[in-house]
Amino acid sequence: PMLAEEFLRAGIDFDFNKCRLIDAQTIFMKMERRNLAAAYKFYCGRKMEEDFEAHRADQDTEATYRVLMGELDKYAPGVQDEPERVLNNNMDELADFSKQKDNVDFAGRIVWEEVKDAQGNVINDENGNPLKHEVFNFGKYKGWDVAEILTKDPGYFTWVLGSDFTNNTKQVL
């Protein structure tokens, strides 16, 4: 997209549909796994199978703990040169840093979103904090207010509750 944007800014009409595009970031994201075994190798310097038996919850828990300790070591104050890459060993800071888009449920199917007026300005409460409401983060009602959809399409809730969503997502609804 960056090259396309630059061409458009320069007034160059170029049909990218006729090109083969190679994206280093896409290759990186597809090739570098994002799972516990990859994290364990990256932060602990060892393969999980060297230390644990596969598919055992207790051992996955221990591996996860070791990954967290490795993360705290790697991103500790005084270790990182870049301030934005520092993680303090503080429960509140780590919990805040771990949040994903202000999830209401753990899976991120329902998220908090700031309430805006008709002009798109954020509405604040009496303390100056942004008002937030729960919105769907998936499906045909992505971005829609959960309470509004309950009134508009109660069958959607029936569908979610009867489908293969996490119990936590269903509990939130």
pLDDT in tens, 5-34: 788 889 888 877 788 878 787 788 888 888
Q: pLDDT at residue 2 above 90?
A: no
Q: pLDDT at residue 100 above 80?
A: no
44 belongs to a structural domain: no
SS3 111: strand
* Predicted structure pTM score: 0.60
1 belongs to a structural domain: no
Number of alpha carbons in the 13 Å side-chain half-sphere of residue 36: 15
Measured from the Cβ of residue 9, the count of other Cβ atoms closer than 10 Å reads 8
Q: What token pair was written down for 26?
A: 């896409």
Arithmetic mean of pLDDT over the chain: 91
How buried is 42 (Cβ within 10 angstroms: 0-12 exposed, 13-18 middle, 19+ buried)?
Answer: middle
142 belongs to a structural domain: yes
Q: What are phi and psi of 130, to 5 degrees?
A: -65, 135
Across the range 103-115, mean pLDDT stands at: 91
Q: Where are the beta strands (DSSP E) in 36-77?
A: none
How many separate domains does the chain show?
A: 1
Q: How does residue 1 score in pLDDT terms, banded at 50, 70 and 90?
A: low
Domain coverage including residue 118: 100-173
20 belongs to a structural domain: no
DSSP symbols for 21-41: ---HHHHHHHHS--SHHHHHH
81 belongs to a structural domain: no
Residue 129 identity (one-letter amino acid): N
48 belongs to a structural domain: no
127 belongs to a structural domain: yes
39 belongs to a structural domain: no
Residues near 151 by beta carbon (within 8 Å), at least 6 away in sequence: none
Q: pLDDT at residue 107 above 90?
A: no
